[in-house]
Structure 1
Amino acid sequence: MNEKYFVLGLPRTGTTSLCVASLDIGLKTAHTAYTQNTIKNAQLIADTPVFNDYEKLYQLFPNAQFIYLEREMSLWLPSIRRLLTRMLPNLIERGGGFNETLKRCFFSTFPELNADKIEDDDYLITCYYSHKVKVTEFLNKTGANNLFVNLANPESNKLLAEFMNVPQINIPHLNKKGKVTAWNEIRHPLKVESTRIGKVDKDALLYNFNK
């Protein structure tokens, strides 16, 4: 398989579940990508930096296909609130905490993020739909092959199988009840690590992947 898929859904829309299913259909898969090697070699990549840097990734991989994951707002809001609350100390820590690519992506998608904004439904809803509008405009402009799908839809397995041209795909329900570590626990020969033994490339997306 030579396909390249980028998953555009925001965190807490089922990205981990789709990544695990991707492994099961034979794709080298990364949930987050912070090195040139990961971006080059993984056939399906989700989360950071994809949900923010999709335009640059499209320039690097113009034949790539895009999967936008949707989720009901009543389910996404409490889930993203728990995640952002947990992440905030490491996001705002200067010179430490999370790597700079992750910080840049989150603060671009969730501008001026702070504890008060995390508790503001209107702020989070605006972030969700602003991201969706930008993604939709990008896909319409480029004509890139894409699928919008909600994994809670009973037809989602069928829609994804058709889009990815495989006989079947089964999406597990992972990271339930606020859990966010399911991907770390996965052991699979096709799993592509996001970092190089914990180290990241400062400008991974500036690499010429076609040389």
Structure 2
Amino acid sequence: MNKLFIIGLPRTGTTSISVALLDYGFKVAHTAYTKRAFELADVVSDAPCFCDYQELDQLFPHSKFVYLERSLERWVPSIQMLLNKMLPELAPKTGYLNPVLKRVMNQTFAPLTSSDPLSKEHLETCYINHQQQVMNYFAQRDDFLRIDISNSNSLPTLLRFIGIEPPVTAQFAHAQFPHLNTGKQVDNWKAIKHPNKINSLSAGTEHRQFLDYRQLRLNR
């Protein structure tokens, strides 16, 4: 396996799965915006993966992909809360958020400039469209896994998918993903202290150069 990409939409458990994998020896980036962050990480989740999975599939052959699903009745109010906080800063020219994040959010939840971008109907359509595109792209492939982290067997299923046999212990029998970023929390990842945690803006010899898919294709 080259890398593991978590391609579920925001508010489907990307932080929870990222934190869980830190303790299994993986170097994890929850969001990755620089070329160096992608080089350092074994696992990358959230932005830009949920939008750019096709490009990442081409650039990192033999990688694996995990799609996180969540019931719409739980996901919609959660993403409404997140987007309500982010919306003023997602404007392409004036928002202060990272340009990569702005691009993938605007592309996935377009049109964010409409009169009611946070409506239940619009967001459900965005979720369903994204899900269908992912399922179509990865149809009949064995390097793809679809899980809901709220299900009790999702953690051992993920571990087996990435080649780790879950421990056969009474303690692990009831192990689940940590429940992070619940309610109105949106950034528990920042508080995580772990040697395997990769900075989204890691700098290398090219400083904090963004991952340029077109340039990387030319260099392969």
Aligned pairs for 1:12-31 (under 5 A) are 12-31=11-30
Matches within 5 A, 1:1-211: 3-92=2-91, 94-114=93-113, 116-140=115-139, 143=141, 145-168=143-166, 170-196=176-202, 200-208=208-216
Deviation of 1:100 (Å) = 1.6
**Aligned residue pair count:** 208
Specify every segment of 5 or more residues in structure 1 that has no aligned partner in the other structure, as ranges: none
| TM value normalised by structure 1 | 0.90
Secondary structure in structure 2 of the residue aligned to 1:26: coil
| CA displacement, residues 1-60 of structure 1 (integer Å, 9 cap, x when unaligned) | x64100110000000000001101110000001111111221110111100011110111
CA distance in 1, matches of 2:35, 2:215: 7
Shift of 1:208: 3.0
Distance 1:42 1:202, change over 3 A: closer
Per the normalisation by structure 2, the TM-score is 0.87
Secondary structure class of the residue paired with 2:183 = helix
- For 2:97 and 2:114, locate their aligned partners in 1 and report how far apart those are by CA, in whole Å: 17
**Conserved? CA contact 1:34–1:204, under 8 Å:** no
* Shift in Å, 1:178: 1.8
Report the identity percentage: 38
Name the amino acid aligned to 1:110: F
Secondary structure of 1:92's aligned partner: coil
- RMSD (CA atoms): 2.1
> Residues 33 and 49 of structure 1 are in contact (CA less than 8 Å); yes or no, is this contact kept in structure 2?
yes
Deviates more, 1:125-134 or 1:200-209: 200-209
